[in-house]
Amino acid sequence: MMKLNNILYDLFESKAEEVKIEILSLGLGYTAVTTSDGGMGVAYTCFDSKNTCSVIKNYHDYEGKPAVDLLEKIKSTNTIERSMSLALINALNYEEALLLPKDKNNDIMFDKFNIGKGTRVAMVGFFGPLVKIFKERDVLLEIIDIARCLGRKEDFYEKLGSWADILLLTSTSILNNTTEEILGTVGRDVKAILLGPSTPMVAEAFGHLPVHMLAGTVPLEKEKVLKAIRHGTGTPVIHRFSRKSFCLTSK
């Protein structure tokens, strides 16, 4: 288990004891949680495999119960439980995330890290819109995405240590417990950005890791986000009703 899991739990335990879960919506693409204090968070629904009609062994109704009951599942080995818990963490952090600056078109990210012609970018997870922009800007790109059969882990990790200028790391890595493994292979001068709707926008959670920027999603039109998730949609639809925000760490 990653150290990050324990840190996230510790950061939000007190608040989770004070609020209750209102809605838990487990969609095919994303999971959403709303809390009694008005918070809402989303996270990728991470399936290990689906061999039966049940993706969770022991059913527990979290709605109307103290949020701390679900927060504990960030330490679970079941990726569905971890998805629900990470969505809860983002809901517990909702008010703070609303105060963060926007980066609707990733302009700040590109400017801050001087991403342009010849920049060597290593990408964990295939981000289609960014890949298109990188090609237009003549960025040098290496991608690993196991689900898409892109890249080979050993080769990719070697490039992270000796080739890359920038690492773009999907926050889904939190759900499959690979965040710390991946970041442990980066070279000293690599600038790492954790991105995607699952990203917990909490700089202090990553103090032990070489992460330089968090780029996440904050729901604004909550009912529309919930409907989009119930309907099995993905990031582009969720972003219609949300804000893309960023947070720079102290690295």
Q: Is residue 11 predicted with pLDDT exceeding 70? A: yes
pLDDT for res 178? 96
Domains along the sequence of the chain with CATH: 3-98 (3.30.390.100), 107-218+242-248 (3.40.50.11590)
**H runs (alpha helix) in the chain:** 3-18, 68-71, 79-92, 94-98, 107-112, 128-136, 153-162, 172-175, 179-183, 222-230, 235-240
Task: Express as a percent the part of the chain with pLDDT over 70.
Answer: 100
For 12, list phi and psi in degrees, rounded to 5: -115, 5
Is residue 117 within 8 A of residue 161, CB to CB? The reply is no
Kindly calculate the radius of gyration of the chain based on its CA atoms and give it in whole angstroms: 17
pLDDT for res 147? 81
pTM of the shown model: 0.95
pLDDT for res 86? 98
Weakest-pLDDT range from 62-76, 135-149, 203-217: 135-149
Q: Which two tokens stand for residue 143?
A: 């991608």
Residue 149, Cβ neighbours under 10 Å: how many? 7
Q: Which two tokens stand for residue 186?
A: 């980066």
Q: What is the pLDDT of residues 147-177, one digit of tens each?
A: 888 899 999 999 999 999 999 999 999 999 9
pLDDT for res 215? 97
pLDDT for res 165? 97
Q: What is the pLDDT of residues 79-99, one digit of tens each?
A: 999 999 999 999 999 999 999
Q: Is 118 left (phi over 0), alpha (psi -120 to 50) or beta?
A: left
pLDDT for res 251? 66
Q: Which pLDDT band holds residue 55 (cuts at 50, 70, 90)?
A: confident
Q: What mean pLDDT is predicted for residues 204-217?
A: 96
pLDDT for res 124? 96
pLDDT for res 226? 98
pLDDT for res 148? 87
Task: Express as a percent the part of the chain with pLDDT over 90.
Answer: 89
Cα→Cα distances 111→62, 103, 106, 115, Å: 42, 11, 9, 7
